[in-house]
Structure 1
C-alpha cells in the first residue's frame, strides 16, 4: 500500500514531514563524516549522488516499503536531520540521524518517539527494530529511553551493531464516566 507524501507528524519539540526535494540541500550539507560513520549506507559524495538516494526513498514510499521524514525544529523550522521507517513489510526498522551541532538537545528521542507513535496509530505497527552501531552511545540512549531491549546483533562491513526491539501498544480508548 502506498504511503502518502503529505504526512506531517508534530510533537512538542519537532515536526516530521515526508522528505522531499526541498529538504535535499540542507540534508546533504548536514551529512558530515561524524554522521556518515554511523549510517548503514555510504555517504553521497555529491548532491547528484544524494538525489539518487532520496529518489529511491520516494519510490519505496510509493510501494509502501519505507517512509523517510525530514526532522525540523517545531519553533524555528531549522532542518535537524532525518528519521525513517524502513522494511515496513517485514520487520519495521527505525533509522535516524541528527546533524552534529544539534546533538544532545533531545531532538533524536523526540523524532523517534514521534515516528513510533505515528506508525502505531496510522499503520498499526507495534514492534520496531532500532539498530545501534557500536560506539554510538547517544543512539543507544534513545533506544533504552523508549523501552528498547536487546534483540540481536548485526555484524556488518561498515560497523557492528546491537539491534533493539521497541514495543509500543495502541492505547484503547476509554470512555469517560
Structure 2
C-alpha cells in the first residue's frame, strides 16, 4: 500500500492500451484495488512485485503472478513509459519467473496484445510458445505458455 503514491501517476491510458484493465480514476479507487491485491496475497493466490531501480529506488513498474494456487499461474507486467526499452522488464521478469518456478507449476500463462512486440519478446525470452489467441475488448491477444525454469 505504501507504493500506491508512486504507482498512481504512471498508470495512464497510453500505458494501459495493451492491458485488459483501465487506469484507476482516482487515488481512492487505486487504494481499493490495492486492498484487493493484499487480500489475494494473504490468500496466496497472487503475488505482486514492485519494481524499483537498484541504486535510486525509483519506482519503475509492477509484475504480478496471478492464480498461484493453480498449475498454470499467469504473469502480468507493466513498466512506466519513461522506463521502456531499457532492459528493466527483462531483468525483473526473469527474477520473478525464477522465483515463481519454485512452486509446483505445469506452465505459466502470459497473455499479451498481438501488437505489443516488446512484451511478446519477453515471453519468448522466457521460453514461451504461442498456445492460442483471444479477442479482448481493446485488442487481439496471444497466449503464451512458458515452461517453468529448470531449477535442478
TM-score (norm 1): 0.80
Aligned length: 151
2:150 alignment partner, SS class: coil
Residue aligning to 1:98: 79
Counterpart contact for 2:20–2:137, Cα < 8 Å: no
Counterpart contact for 1:126–1:170, Cα < 8 Å: no
How many Å separate the matches in 1 of 2:147 and 2:55?
Answer: 29
> How is 1:165-176 mapped onto 2 (pairs within 5 angstroms)?
165-172=145-152
How many Å separate the matches in 2 of 1:125 and 1:111?
Answer: 19
Shift >4 Å, 4+ stretches: none
Aligned-pair CA distance for 1:73: 1.2
Larger Rg: 1
Structure 1 residue aligned with 2:27, among 31, 42, 47? 47
Aligned-pair CA distance for 1:77: 0.9
RMSD: 1.3
Aligned-pair CA distance for 1:27: 0.6
Structure 1 residue aligned with 2:110, among 116, 130, 150? 130
Post-superposition Cα deviations, 1:28-54, rounded to whole Å, max 9, x if no partner, equal 111122212122222101000111111
Residue aligning to 2:54: 74
Contiguous gaps of at least 5 residues in structure 1: 1-20, 173-177
